[in-house]
Structure 1
Amino acid sequence: MRYSVFWLAALLAGCASQSAWMPAPSNSIPAEVVMEGLEGTLSLRVGSNVAWRIDTYSTWLTASPQSGVGPRVVQLRAELSGEVASQAEYDGSLRISGDLEASVAVRLPLVRVVGSVAEGEGAASASLLPVGSQGLRSEGNGVRAASKPVEVLVKYRRDLRGVALPQGSRVLSHDAISRLTKLQAANPQALLQRLRLDPSVEWAEFNGTVSAQGEPTDQFYPRQWYLRSTGARFTYLQTYSQPVTVAVVDTGVRYDHPDLTGRLWLPGEGAYDFVGDAAPPTNPNQAYDPCADPVPGNPGDTDPTDPCDLLSSTGGSHGTHVTGIIAASSGPFTPACPDCTDSGIVGMAYNAPIKVLPLRVLDSMGNGTFEDVALAIRYAAGIPVQKGNQTLLNPQPARVINLSLGSLTYSNSMCEAVADAVARGVLVVAAAGNFQSRSPGALVYPAACPGAISVAATDQNNQVVFYSQQNSSVAIAAPGGNTAQPGGGVLSTTWNFTTNLPNYTFYMGTSQATPQVAAALAMLLSGGRASDASEAWALLRSSLTDLGAPGRDDAYGYGLLNLPGAFAWALPRGDFLVSFSGPTPREVAVVNGRFETYLVPGRYTVTACRDDTGNGLCDRTEPKLERPLQVSGRNTLDLGTLRVGP
């Protein structure tokens, strides 16, 4: 018994001593991590006293935490900025250092997504299909559009009497001189394929349609991308009969710019300069400086010609730039110099009887006072005002007032003037402001005054621009441009004060977005689509293309300006667009009805539309299909045919 106890004690002692000299378990770090979607984990199974640090060598990959002591589950995240690369997977690596050294390969597999887009009435039915990992297919479930007779044109190599017509085809007409025959069949696509395989056929094609094109041919019109973004390029489809005045409260205007001839109310017709001319020199031997400060307390005058621009001497006059966006004429004019253009640009309202009333309130540095702006707003609306003991009454009351100016300071005088103008049924459109970079979210006045329509700015990609103010007052967005992008500014009429010649310059700002909204509202009134201010704004707002967060948001307001929707224009058929919104938003090109892309696994919404406007967006009034989509697995995800309704 005593021996047995001793033996057990010895055995236990032996076990204890053995654990003391046995080596500790080795650290366990995987050589590879495969992420599922944008997130993944890296399990560090290390000793409790092991210190480690993680460095990432891939710009798209982040790890958290990046350092620690002991075992830990590290969170990995993919941050893919911009468009997802068209590739099967992203490859990255992590470097672990500290008390141990290791490398970990990180893979993010993408799912290849393919499909096609076609016309059809199956959009509503297809949108109700269930979501599954095998993709969405609508060929056998959607309701196909009723087929319309499609004709085929064919040119035979010899006289029609010597050829055999395809079975089931019917001759609709035949031109013996050109050997052009028009055929019809129950399946025109099959007929076309058979004809193209026939050695007796020179060529065959569908009898497509063409439509009259009335877009301007002005020299710089192709560089006015903003007219495409808003659909304003189709303004020729509308007839306008009602004269409308738009007041531009700004730096004044250059009446001698040939692209504005006949588009302005002249001195003596209601135009007014609330700043006044520069004071004459105190020394009669000195030359007169048109950029000098005006005489204090002067009553102004009836000539709002912009005398100079100290901010831009070679492409200046902010007011002229704003005015051109609204009303620059279309067609040839007498060039101002041998090398000058004879046609220039077109204003949004170029074919409407809309005239600009220039009201100067800003000086040569682009600065003005609350007092003058308030006076100009009331004056523009047809309300009597007093300036320098003079009572002024505008003989051309404006139905729309454009205010491409603003201040971060609240002003009772400006906001009361806006309220007075709105009470008279005048639309007051104001720039949301360019202070977002240094004063994010701050309110800008008069845009934030009750009753004013505050306008934000977008770029060529229909994204809100970095400078555009984002706040609770923003009501609508329009192209304001970004001159950092090639050709990305808004091109309009300006003046070279050095050579004293007209020219054209790219500007950017909410100042450039605002006149496009002002012009659109004036066009709705001129074209008879709206009878008053409230109706015009309601119609324009209901047709906007919703961007950003669904509904109204501080960046885009209610959405991007969309003229075809507001005017209900019947547009020529455009190209198809396909986009995916979800973990990695993506716009996909559709080529010959097919599309292909790679997506990170996750839940998306797929949208297909026919981009009749040609602005690269699926506007509210365009045929569209939208439905949820779960992207997962390792194989190709075939969405089948997305049928966009008529």
Structure 2
Amino acid sequence: MKSFVPRLSQRSPASSLPLRRGLTCGLLAAALLLSACDQTSSPEPVTGLQAQTVALGQATSAPARQGFAGTWTVSGVPAWLTVSPASGSGDVALTVSADRAAGTPLDAGQSVLSGSFQVVWTLADGTTGSATWTVQADQFRLSGRVVDAARLEGSDAGTPDTDLGASGAGDSRGVIVTYREAGVRDAVLAAEGSVRAQAQGGAASARATLDGLGVKAGARSPLGTRAARLDTPATAATLAALRADPNVLAAVPNVTLRALATPAAPVTPTDQYAPLQWAYPLLGYGAVWRDMESGGYTRAVTVAVVDTGVRYDHPDLAGQLYGPADGALDVLTDVSNGDGDGADTDPTDPSVSGRTGGSHGTHVTGIIAARWGQNTTTCAGCSPTGVVGATYRAPVTVLPVRALDSGGGTTAADVANAVRYAAGLGVTLDGKVLTNPHPAQVINLSLGGAVDAAEGQPMCDAIADARARGALVVAAAGNDGTTLPFYPAACAGAVSVASVTLSGASAPRHAVYSNAYAQVQLSAPGGASYLARTTFNGAALNGAAFPDDIFSTSWDYTKNQPNYEVESGTSQAAPQVSALAALLLSKGVTSGPDDTLARMVATATDLGAAGRDDLFGAGMIDAAAALNAPAVSDTLGLRLQDDQGRAFQPALDSLGGFTAYLGSGSYSVVAGRDRNGNGVYGESGEPRTERRVTLGTATPAADLGDLTPAP
């Protein structure tokens, strides 16, 4: 049986300082005495490469040349530039190419990108030096204006015999007429008798219009200096007749307005490390937890975490897990798996001599179900409250199934047994048939390997069996940063989950390590990792900016005590999806694996290219939208992202206008409102409007005009 080692969580390596070999130039001073007659001629000057500027304009690439006699090497090239060849001899003849999108700053505020690289040179006599070559690239221009929708509940479109008030649904209270002159209005409002007889010209014409419409004198009230309110139905015929009078400036329904609902306050956990758990606010959990406090999450749900096992003695997981007597299982039959025995009912992630890393299974479990509030037990120096899990008050219980050994390895057979057992199917281990008394509705697989389809098929068969049994299997898409399928996530019956992280803009971005392939179905926060460490979340830990990674329960095997650990990977993204699936089932929004997956896909936030793509799948899950959580905010903003998942945040001026200087490519521009408090505008169920635009040499500038979010 071929074994594989999952590479689905990443810890930061120890920091090291790079060593650089410097180029030195030395001058050998000879002890020579020169007489005046020896200075009749001067030596030839040393000729090295000179600094120069390469102006790309709006082209993708351009040549850069300079005559030279010697050898040279290009170094220090910015990430958004490509320079080739990297070295040579004789004349320097380079091709400089720009990926403008990769060099565009977060605010997209630079009309010209500028960067430089060094050309290090050596002459035949050994003289060395370097020249700085600067590259300038003009950006493409995108502009528009985010405009708030009118906060009226009215329109004057409808049928001739219908009161055209609020939304054309008969909810107005008459008509407001504004006359061109105050005197006309006054004559129209005057009582019968001598004043009427004296009304002449425009006043008489306007009075006649009202008489013809059957609007009696008592049904007319002054409004301001030139306007009047008419107690008459705002039908299309009435409005048309009034507007046809040359003395009338405007005639509109007296629409009914209503007080805007005040958003509910989001629930903010008070546990010590909750401010570091940025993934929950990003998914709208402040609204979900508010919804949860109103009741409704009543159905018990079991989530099986097939992993390295768990630390039952972690105080932040007390009461959240099924134990050995309730179906928890270690499926590893090899006694060298780390705990010194074979398959049994104790899935504890064991201590092993020399083990220093944390507990992967404990970390994954905490994302789903870490308890809120004061821990019942603690240890010296440990946090009394720790972190929180997504499922909060919902009756969601984690079933630990140990399928990864203490080194993080497993086999396809072990995974297949674990999946079938978790779903409630009987498995035979060490000659015994075992059946789970608490079949899982959701199974989380934060594991996998870069095996081929044939090698992954035994796991796919087990996942198909579990799906038929009624379990939704969620699997991590892999951390290799490739486009190759990763198993078991790539199995047809699994939900393959890619990872996103914060970008500093109102749209999260694809994590650099996260695999991208055709079977990816959803995305969720998994952290940035040390490969591209950022600190956009704004929190701090021990006085330092907290990285955009995932903080959860773990275990210190050196001190043999509970702790909390930063990890990142699709291992951390998968349990975000598993937790949401469990909550959908607990609230009764869905009832099985098919409609649960469909609900998460339908409410996901589309990121990158329009529609499903290999980077994000259908998009990032939106817990608030999926669970119909109440609004906890109501702000207007802009979301801008290219098809590669790179996000930008141009500033809006006081009128909502923006100008973004961008690279070539296709962009999604969303103007919308944020109702779930996550700072991402125009998600599922939120007012939005979206435009697609492609910029490049053929279209160097685009003005989108007014963008008004529609309900």
Which residue is 1:221 aligned to? 274
8 Å CA contact 1:57–1:92 kept in 2: the answer is: no
Which residue is 1:140 aligned to? none
1:638 and 1:396 mapped to 2: Cα distance? Answer: 58
8 Å CA contact 1:605–1:626 kept in 2: the answer is: yes
Q: Does 1:243 align with 2:300?
A: yes
Question: Residues 339, 637 of structure 1: CA spacing in aligned structure 2 closer, same or farther, 3 A cutoff?
Answer: same
Which residue is 1:542 aligned to? 602
Which residue is 2:100 aligned to? 79
1:210 and 1:569 mapped to 2: Cα distance? Answer: 11
Q: Deviations over 1:93-144 (max 9, x none)?
A: 99999xxxxx999765557877653420599xxxxxxxxxxxxxxxxxxx9x
Residues 546-565 of structure 1 correspond to what in structure 2 (within 5 A)? Answer: 546-565=606-625
Which residue is 2:512 aligned to? 466
3-state secondary structure, aligned to 2:708: strand
2:73 and 2:416 mapped to 1: Cα distance? Answer: 60
Q: Does 1:599 align with 2:661?
A: yes
1:478 alignment partner AA? A
Pairing partner for 1:483 from 518, 529, 533: 529
2:149 alignment partner AA? G
1:219 and 1:471 mapped to 2: Cα distance? Answer: 38
Normalised by the length of structure 2, the TM-score is 0.62
Pairing partner for 1:569 from 629, 645, 666: 629
3-state secondary structure, aligned to 1:414: helix
Q: Does 1:616 align with 2:699?
A: no
Q: Does 1:419 align with 2:461?
A: no
1:626 and 1:529 mapped to 2: Cα distance? Answer: 28
Question: Residues 420, 605 of structure 1: CA spacing in aligned structure 2 closer, same or farther, 3 A cutoff?
Answer: closer
Which residues of structure 2 form unaligned runs of 5+? Answer: 1-51, 67-71, 122-131, 153-166, 173-222, 225-258, 536-546
Shift of 1:334: 3.5
8 Å CA contact 2:104–2:662 kept in 1: the answer is: no
1:253 alignment partner AA? V
1:223 alignment partner AA? L
Pairing partner for 2:332 from 270, 275, 280: 275
2:284 alignment partner AA? G
Question: Residues 491, 554 of structure 1: CA spacing in aligned structure 2 closer, same or farther, 3 A cutoff?
Answer: same
3-state secondary structure, aligned to 1:405: coil
Which residue is 1:403 aligned to? 445
Shift of 1:382: 1.1
Which residue is 1:363 aligned to? 405
2:89 and 2:435 mapped to 1: Cα distance? Answer: 75
Shift of 1:507: 0.9
Question: Residues 42, 360 of structure 1: CA spacing in aligned structure 2 closer, same or farther, 3 A cutoff?
Answer: closer
**In terms of mean alpha carbon deviation, does 520-529 or 578-587 score higher?**
578-587
Shift of 1:254: 1.0
2:58 and 2:151 mapped to 1: Cα distance? Answer: 31
2:420 and 2:149 mapped to 1: Cα distance? Answer: 53
Question: Residues 262, 591 of structure 1: CA spacing in aligned structure 2 closer, same or farther, 3 A cutoff?
Answer: farther
Shift of 1:76: 7.1
8 Å CA contact 2:316–2:371 kept in 1: the answer is: yes
1:120 and 1:395 mapped to 2: Cα distance? Answer: 54
Which residues of structure 1 form unaligned runs of 5+? Answer: 1-30, 47-52, 98-102, 124-142, 149-166, 169-205, 280-290
1:105 and 1:273 mapped to 2: Cα distance? Answer: 60
Shift of 1:222: 0.9
Shift of 1:644: 2.4
8 Å CA contact 2:83–2:94 kept in 1: the answer is: no
Shift of 1:537: 0.9
3-state secondary structure, aligned to 1:544: coil
Q: Does 1:253 align with 2:310?
A: yes
Residues 317-336 of structure 1 correspond to what in structure 2 (within 5 A)? Answer: 317-336=359-378
8 Å CA contact 1:121–1:643 kept in 2: the answer is: no
Shift of 1:343: 1.3
3-state secondary structure, aligned to 1:323: helix
2:376 and 2:657 mapped to 1: Cα distance? Answer: 49
Shift of 1:324: 0.5
1:264 alignment partner AA? L
Question: Residues 569, 389 of structure 1: CA spacing in aligned structure 2 closer, same or farther, 3 A cutoff?
Answer: same
8 Å CA contact 2:650–2:658 kept in 1: the answer is: yes
Which residue is 1:119 aligned to? 148
8 Å CA contact 2:499–2:573 kept in 1: the answer is: yes
Residues 633-644 of structure 1 correspond to what in structure 2 (within 5 A)? Answer: 642-644=707-709
Pairing partner for 2:321 from 228, 241, 264: 264
Residues 120-269 of structure 1 correspond to what in structure 2 (within 5 A)? Answer: 120=149, 209=262, 211-236=264-289, 237-238=291-292, 239-269=296-326
Q: Deviations over 1:61-112 (max 9, x none)?
A: 6789999999x99997563524345245446799999xxxxx9997655578
Which residue is 1:376 aligned to? 418
1:625 and 1:423 mapped to 2: Cα distance? Answer: 39
8 Å CA contact 2:143–2:659 kept in 1: the answer is: yes
2:260 and 2:267 mapped to 1: Cα distance? Answer: 23
1:88 and 1:467 mapped to 2: Cα distance? Answer: 30
Q: Does 1:294 align with 2:340?
A: yes
2:53 and 2:426 mapped to 1: Cα distance? Answer: 78
Normalised by the length of structure 1, the TM-score is 0.68
Q: Deviations over 1:413-471 (max 9, x none)?
A: 322211111111111111112233xxx32322221222111111122233222222222
1:540 and 1:565 mapped to 2: Cα distance? Answer: 9
1:211 alignment partner AA? A
Shift of 1:35: 6.1
8 Å CA contact 2:288–2:630 kept in 1: the answer is: no
8 Å CA contact 2:338–2:405 kept in 1: the answer is: no
Q: Does 1:508 align with 2:508?
A: no
Question: Residues 388, 362 of structure 1: CA spacing in aligned structure 2 closer, same or farther, 3 A cutoff?
Answer: same
8 Å CA contact 2:638–2:681 kept in 1: the answer is: no
1:311 and 1:477 mapped to 2: Cα distance? Answer: 35
8 Å CA contact 2:367–2:575 kept in 1: the answer is: yes
Shift of 1:260: 0.9
Question: Residues 251, 578 of structure 1: CA spacing in aligned structure 2 closer, same or farther, 3 A cutoff?
Answer: same
Shift of 1:501: 1.7
1:378 and 1:578 mapped to 2: Cα distance? Answer: 46
Question: Residues 259, 550 of structure 1: CA spacing in aligned structure 2 closer, same or farther, 3 A cutoff?
Answer: same
Which residue is 1:389 aligned to? 431
Q: How many residues align?
A: 514
Question: Residues 262, 595 of structure 1: CA spacing in aligned structure 2 closer, same or farther, 3 A cutoff?
Answer: farther
8 Å CA contact 2:330–2:402 kept in 1: the answer is: yes
Which residue is 2:346 aligned to? 303
Pairing partner for 2:650 from 588, 597, 604: 588
8 Å CA contact 1:599–1:631 kept in 2: the answer is: no
